[in-house]
């Protein structure tokens, strides 16, 4: 069975995309409350010597922006360390370009509601700095956003960490990237719908 590492996924009750249905799902998180399989700061992935090139996929949804810009390369280099040569990283982050464009077009204040999600109203401020209600409720600063990405800056960060192939899409205030060490084979192109990107 192929192995998936869900980096910063909080807990296993949060649904993953359907493409991971047949993967063994391991959760890595810094917060012990979610009962992660691996309790670890994602900046320290290179220290997991027993996991070197041991994963077929990494899923990192809305977690990379929780690290300072200078630490992003540590996290992504860790992804390279634990991914198999034929593996891929699937990264989702807020799209700061789209956020700025919508904020200006709609003449929004930083505290105005941008949209309403299943967890409640989301302000412009929440996308920039992290979901304020959760940060206040939990008292955990690691829920704060410490950097942001545009499509190009995410591509640059992945390339700088050593990923040779990066495919991106942008929609609904989100950038989704698929990053690979080597050119994807036909199986991955079909699985990840890379023909359409």
User: Which value, to the nearest 10 degrees, does the dihedral of the CA atoms of residues 93, 133, 141, 11 take?
Assistant: -60
Classify residue 35 by its DSSP letter.
Answer: -
pLDDT of residue 113: 96
Burial class (CB in 10 A: 0-12, 13-18, 19+), 152: exposed
Residues 6+ apart with CB under 8 A from 45: 28, 51, 75, 77, 78, 79, 81, 82
pLDDT of residue 197: 55
pLDDT tens, per residue, the chain with 197 residues: 999 999 999 999 989 999 999 999 999 999 999 999 999 999 999 998 888 899 999 999 999 999 999 999 999 999 999 999 999 999 999 999 999 999 999 999 999 999 999 889 999 999 999 999 989 998 888 889 999 999 999 999 999 999 999 999 999 999 999 999 999 999 899 989 886 55
- Reduce the DSSP state of residue 88 to 3 states and report it: strand
pTM attached to this predicted model = 0.94
Domain ranges of the chain: 3-96+147-196
Element housing 25 (H / E): strand 24-29
Residues 6+ apart with CB under 8 A from 184: 88, 165, 192, 194
Would you say how long the chain is, in residues? 197
**Residues in a beta bridge with 61:** 92
Fold observed for domain 3-96+147-196: Rossmann fold (3.40.50)
């Amino acid at each position: 069975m192929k192995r998936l590492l869900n980096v910063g996924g909080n807990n296993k009750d949060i649904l993953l995309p359907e493409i991971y249905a047949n993967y063994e799902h391991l959760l890595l998180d810094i917060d012990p409350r979610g009962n992660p399989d691996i309790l670890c700061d994602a900046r320290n992935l290179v220290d997991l010597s027993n996991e070197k090139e041991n994963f077929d996929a990494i899923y990192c949804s809305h977690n990379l922006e929780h690290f300072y810009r200078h630490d992003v390369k540590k996290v992504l280099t860790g992804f390279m360390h634990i991914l198999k040569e034929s593996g891929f990283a699937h990264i989702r982050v807020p799209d700061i370009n789209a956020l700025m464009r919508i904020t200006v077009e709609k003449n929004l204040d930083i505290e105005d509601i941008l949209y309403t999600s299943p967890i409640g109203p989301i302000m412009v401020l929440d996308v920039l700095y992290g979901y304020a209600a959760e940060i206040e409720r939990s008292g955990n600063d690691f829920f704060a956003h410490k950097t942001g990405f545009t499509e190009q800056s995410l591509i640059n960060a992945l390339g700088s960490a050593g990923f040779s192939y990066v495919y991106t899409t942008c929609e609904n205030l989100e950038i989704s990237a698929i990053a690979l060490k080597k050119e994807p084979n036909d199986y991955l192109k079909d699985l990840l719908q890379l023909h359409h990107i």
